[in-house]
Amino acid sequence: MQTQRIVIFNAENEPFPFCQMQGLTQSRWDQNTAMRAERNNSLVSFVEYFIGQIRNPNTRKAYGRAIRQFLDWCEQQGARRLEDINYMAVAAYVEQHPSSPQTVLQHLAAIRQLFAWLKQQRVLGNNPAENVRGPKYRIKIGKTPVLGAEEMRQLLNSFDCSHITGLRDRAVISLMTFTFARIGAVVAMNIEDYFMKGSRHWVRLHEKGGKYLEAPLHHLADEYLHAYVTAAQQQEGIVWEKGTPLFRSQQRGKARVLSEHRLDRRVAWAMVKRRAQDADIATDICNHTFRGTGITNYLENGGSRDTAQELAGHEDVRTTALYDRRGSKISLNEIERMRF
């Protein structure tokens, strides 16, 4: 009789092997006297761990991938039980990890959180990852490329606004720029998140960590978003009411026609790449570029860092400082001062 392996579900609700250690089967998990959690069904407990405690879907997916890689590595090193994973094993995994320091630190955070949960549930007596130190990583300026004012104007002026997708893409990019919003918050907007307050349009952004921001729109962002909404309302065959997505994907097989489905952030990433190429923008930009572009331009024009922090939804002003590129611009004239 084949024993059942423990599985969890990823962000797409697809099962994948949580632990492929040969000795850690469902039956042994339930029979092990050291593993007396409040619930006997460990499968349900693991699902609750990822879905219940980690609310952000991107973090949940990343942590699930990190833990799967870690446990696969442990199996390759000969581990057969959770008790076989000790401090030295976690430290060795961190030491040999080939990825960037940021990725290694993320993996270590996921491993720590998992073992902390296992300890809390009395599955294990200690957390072997608790005192493991990750690689040192200090950064004063973010690595996300930003656009200068001239490049940003060049991009915004390059859109073909004779059709709905051009209007949509321009509105998405301008909203990320003028509100410092993440792409996840922009594509998550519903119809009611663009509303009148007094004499101006405002937007409501639901950022990660359960935070949300209400802010008035810059006049250009308002102009672009209003043009998109007006055109979308005139399209036949779609429901445009409260509770439905503000930014929609295209209908499959029908170019320049909106669907009922929400625009996916990965589709938005591909759109940004395509739009930059069409506008002859040489900088290798991404969705996050516009967050940094907006913050830098705001500060260059006399805005305060504290206000930028509030608009960006950062807990720490040092995070906002990573997006401030005012001091990182070295002019060609300065380089040409050298003479040989």
Range name among 164-173, 319-328, 329-338 with the lowest pLDDT average: 329-338
pLDDT exceeds 70 at position 177 = yes
Q: What confidence score (pLDDT) does residue 233 get?
A: 92
| Residue 210 tokens, joined | 């359960």
Q: Domain ranges for the chain, please list them.
A: 7-120, 149-328
E-strand ranges in 125-280 read 194-197, 200-206, 212-216, 248-251, 254-262
**Mean pLDDT, range 75-84, rounded to an integer:** 84
3-state secondary structure of 76: helix
The more confidently predicted of residues 58 and 90 is 90
Bridge partner list, 245: 190
Q: Which residues contact 158 (CB under 8 A, 6 or more apart)?
A: 275, 278, 279
Torsion angles phi and psi, residue 110, rounded to 5:
-65, -45
Number of Cβ within a 10 Å radius of residue 208: 14
Tell me how crowded residue 241 is: count the other CB atoms within 10 A of its CB.
9
- Contact indicator for 166, 278 with CB cutoff of 8 Å: no
Strand (E) or helix (H) holding 15: strand 15-17
Instruction: Write 110-116 long-range contacts (CB < 8 A, 24+).
Output: 110/62, 110/63, 110/66, 110/67, 110/70, 111/66, 111/67, 111/70, 113/63, 114/49, 114/63, 114/67
CB contact at 8 A, 287 and 184: no
Long-range contacts (CB closer than 8 Å, 24 or more residues apart) made by 42-45 = 42/6, 43/6, 43/7, 43/8, 45/121
pLDDT reported for residue 23: 35
The pLDDT of 304-312, averaged and rounded, is: 82
| Fold (CATH) for 149-328 | hpI Integrase; Chain A (1.10.443)
Q: How far is 123 from 34, CA to CA, in rounded Å?
A: 6
> Mind listing the pLDDT tens digit for each residue in 252-287?
877 788 999 999 999 999 999 999 999 999 888 998
Other Cβ atoms closer than 10 A to 95? 11
DSSP string for 301-340: TT--HHHHHHHHT-SSHHHHHTT--GGG---HHHHTT---
Average pLDDT, the chain: 79
pLDDT class of 20 with cuts at 50, 70, 90: very low
| pLDDT tens readout for residues 191-237 | 999 999 988 999 999 877 667 788 899 999 999 999 999 999 999 88
Q: Mean pLDDT, to the nearest integer, of 9-36? A: 38
How far is Cα 96 from Cα 99, in angstroms, rounded to an integer?
9
